[in-house]
Structure 1
Amino acid sequence: MVDSVKGFNFTTLWDTASYMLATIAAYRLDIIAEEEFSNRMDNALNALIQMPLYNDELPNKSYDTKTLSMTDYQNRPTEEGIGWSAIDIGRLCVPLNVLLYEYPEFTPQVRAVVSRWTFDRMFRNGIMYGTSRTNDVEQVNQEGRLGYEEYVSKSFALLGFDISEAYNYRDFTGFVDVEDVEVPVDLRLPSQFGAHTYTLSEPYILDGVEFGWDYYSREFSYRVYLAQKNRYENTGIVTAVTETALDDDPYFVYNTVFGDGIPWASLTSDGLTSESWRTLSTKAALGWAILYDTDYSAPLLEKVRSMQNETDGFYAGIYEQENRTNTALTCNTNGVILEIFHFKVFGPYLKIQGRQ
């Protein structure tokens, strides 16, 4: 498996999905030859077949890339695991669906991966659930917030699961004014539902480049994009915010258009906040520049032009306050960037007939 961050032998299923989709993109873009594509995909699928499962049900939230052992988020081995993420598993199902539809030679391996998984506790009445295990105590919680929830539902739907409630854009959606744009937000409060809410770029960019937007995601994506464009026009600050790794503590944050009730909040998963963490995201800048061909594309592309590393792809972004490079080199940043280049040439990976 491939490291989430260079030099740290750790991964999640979200990052593994980015790697697999990037590998498909690299092959289709003639960056790698067929033999390398097949070898890389074989290795990834075989790792998914071999790795232990949380509670013998579903993939753990994180793994050691060298040993395939279950770990916690500090990459410490754990025999019991720390739970599963329905959102991460749903994202992994995107490349699995691409392989099933476009590369049938991998169908036996994909079936071997999915046939190990037991979904009984993940889906109930069209809703997705995840688990967290701390100090030998497991909690089961509804999982997914606006943007992420609907995006991953599409890959589960292609595999035949009932995600009717998870895919409903209207059930917990409200709108708040950010930079004179009515931006979609999730109305579920952390104090009541136990999860933080983030309106940011990534799920909408991924929905566009992987599936092609539907009626709601097209509208919501444009509003999220337009708020960032308007911020640039109002302040002169080139803005493209999303979840990102950092090269310093706390190492991972959600840079939002609106998060936990605050415009332009930069939050950790525990709800800590600091404006010093806000960055221009390389992947988000490239995604919006290519998905929307407007006068804002030029400043986005110009700002991240220097983010390319000579040997390791693209750095994660630029700290807004200090105007210095966020030197984190991650699988997800570079995987998503390859997905965006794939979209530029070929369009969405899984374009559903009738969408535009």
Structure 2
Amino acid sequence: MKLKSNEKPAVELTDASPMAAFDDITPLSLAIVGETSQDDLAYAQIAWRYFENNTHPETGLVNSADKYPSTTMWETGSYFVAVISANLLGLIDEQEAKSRLSLTLDTLTKIRLFDDILPNKAYNVQTAELVNYANKPVERGLGWSALDIARLVGTLAQITQHYPELAPQVNALLDYWDLSQMVEDGQLIGGNLSDDMLRRDQEGRVGYGQYAAKAMMLFGFDMYRAYDAEEHLMIKDVLGQPIPVDDRLHRNVTPAFVVSEPYVFDGLEFGFDARSHRFATAIYKAQEARYTETGILTAVSESHLDEAPYFVYSSVWGGGAPWAVMTFQGDRLDSKRTVTTKTAFAWYALFGTEYAKELVTALAPLGDPDRGWPEGLYEADGSINGSVTTNTNAVVLAALAFRAFGPLIRSAQ
């Protein structure tokens, strides 16, 4: 609904108490758990095919994108989520799940670390060597991503809950990595090389920061500042919804942006807390409102592209405006906004709304039984964004497992 010039916005924005903007938000009811249809199982089988095609048999690592033999700790965590979800849904048996997880854990306990501290930002899937983002070997590495590692750490808790027999391997991995190096004063600290010197930088913005903090807290780390969303919170009104925006820069280029990603991960893996439930509700409702107002299907998040620059952040708000699509460098690229497959499946699993169901229905024909689920549809012309990735197919599996069993971190209890 568009506001007339003499109308006030639905959300009163104040600098004094940004959290007050959410006082009037009634969180959307969570979808009923225990629903699994034949369509769900067929969708899940398509997603699992991606992992059958892209797991390297010697290292247990998985290509970040179809046939591209590089990975990060974030994507390795996504693989763990995919394996657990596939087992829950009956696509693989428990023995295969444990065998896959055990092999990957064993590799992660042997890989060469950046400066013998923490995992490098990227690894070659076939050799487990340290590489740069072009998948070329680098002797020292690139540094470490605290967010990526924290995301994987959260999935380690899921592994120990579902498969207690693997706890010794998880513990050995945690002993091998010096996680204390990426936590300081309750915040996540990344390691970045600048002129061959290690620079330690705070990582995590509103949404991603709280999701990563939850993961680290599962293993006893004090993440009081990372979990506190209000310290750097500002509110931006998008179609009458209060959108939680971090007031800090992202990558020192553009103000931080808001995507669906960390909120759907939070809900699917941990189960929402009261705050993330309200934040996720507002972010979802803004996307539904855009569809209501324009007739354009909207399901935005970070996403890979099937052409240069190959990765963008499709935001609810970012770079000073709603619905901005941003590159790593902070440039606008709105022509590559994608109706993302993973976001559609996730919102439908979490909230079960008619609009989310419409999203899934629109994207369902894209599933390729031989390759997996692509990123989605380009909004500009309705063509397929044909990039096929670990993250998208893992989220599809996690969403379908959520529909049947609820959050992954609790479903084994």
CA distance in 2, matches of 1:61, 1:340: 27
TM-superposed CA distance for 1:19, in Å, is 0.6
TM-superposed CA distance for 1:137, in Å, is 2.8
TM-superposed CA distance for 1:286, in Å, is 1.0
Q: Once structures 1 and 2 are overlaid, which stretch shifts more, 288-297 or 307-316? A: 288-297
Change in CA separation of 1:108 and 1:196 when aligned onto 2, cut-off 3 Å: farther
Aligned pair 1:41/2:75, yes or no?
no
Question: 2:64 matched to which residue of 1?
Answer: 4
Which residue identity is paired with 2:74? W
Question: 1:234 matched to which residue of 2?
Answer: 293
Aligned pair 1:312/2:371, yes or no?
yes
Partner SS, residue 226 of structure 2? coil
In the alignment, is the contact (CA less than 8 A) between 2:254 and 2:330 conserved in 1?
no
Question: 1:248 matched to which residue of 2?
Answer: 307
Q: Once structures 1 and 2 are overlaid, which stretch shifts more, 114-123 or 55-64? A: 114-123
Which residue identity is paired with 2:242? E
Aligned pair 1:286/2:345, yes or no?
yes
In the alignment, is the contact (CA less than 8 A) between 2:154 and 2:218 conserved in 1?
no
In the alignment, is the contact (CA less than 8 A) between 1:10 and 1:63 conserved in 2?
yes
TM-superposed CA distance for 1:277, in Å, is 1.4
Unaligned residue ranges in structure 1 (runs of 5+): none
Deviations 1:290-338 (A, max 9, x none): 2112221232112111120121221111111021001111011001110
Instruction: Write the mapping of 1:141-290 to structure 2, written as runs, cut at 5 A.
Output: 141-190=201-250, 196-290=255-349
CA distance in 2, matches of 1:48, 1:326: 32
Question: 2:191 matched to which residue of 1?
Answer: 131
Which residue identity is paired with 1:328? S
Which residue identity is paired with 1:197? A
Find 1:324's aligned residue among 378, 383, 388: 383
Deviations 1:226-276 (A, max 9, x none): 000000000000000001111000001111101122211111122122111
| RMSD value, Cα | 1.5
Structure 1: which 4+ aligned runs deviate by more than 2 Å? 193-196
Question: 1:91 matched to which residue of 2?
Answer: 151
Instruction: Write the mapping of 1:40-119 to structure 2, written as runs, cut at 5 A.
Output: 40-119=100-179
Deviations 1:93-132 (A, max 9, x none): 1220012223111011101111011134311110111011
Find 2:406's aligned residue among 327, 341, 347: 347
CA distance in 2, matches of 1:242, 1:348: 20
TM-superposed CA distance for 1:26, in Å, is 0.5
Question: 1:18 matched to which residue of 2?
Answer: 78
Partner SS, residue 311 of structure 1? coil
CA distance in 2, matches of 1:350, 1:187: 31
Partner SS, residue 227 of structure 1? helix
TM-superposed CA distance for 1:282, in Å, is 0.2
In the alignment, is the contact (CA less than 8 A) between 1:150 and 1:169 conserved in 2?
yes
Unaligned residue ranges in structure 2 (runs of 5+): 1-60
User: Under a length normalisation based on structure 1, what TM-score does the superposition of the two structures give?
Assistant: 0.95
CA distance in 2, matches of 1:175, 1:196: 13
Question: 2:90 matched to which residue of 1?
Answer: 30
Which residue identity is paired with 1:150? Q
TM-superposed CA distance for 1:225, in Å, is 0.2
Partner SS, residue 130 of structure 1? strand
User: Under a length normalisation based on structure 2, what TM-score does the superposition of the two structures give?
Assistant: 0.83
CA distance in 2, matches of 1:328, 1:190: 25
Partner SS, residue 343 of structure 1? helix
Find 2:396's aligned residue among 330, 337, 349: 337
TM-superposed CA distance for 1:161, in Å, is 0.4
Which residue identity is paired with 1:73? Y
CA distance in 1, matches of 2:275, 2:376: 29
CA distance in 2, matches of 1:190, 1:244: 17
CA distance in 1, matches of 2:89, 2:249: 43
Which residue identity is paired with 1:298? K
Report the count of equivalent residues. 351
CA distance in 2, matches of 1:142, 1:260: 20
Which residue identity is paired with 2:108? L
CA distance in 2, matches of 1:234, 1:40: 46
CA distance in 2, matches of 1:224, 1:153: 20
Structure of greater relative contact order (alpha carbons < 8 Å, 6+ residues apart): 2
CA distance in 2, matches of 1:8, 1:135: 29
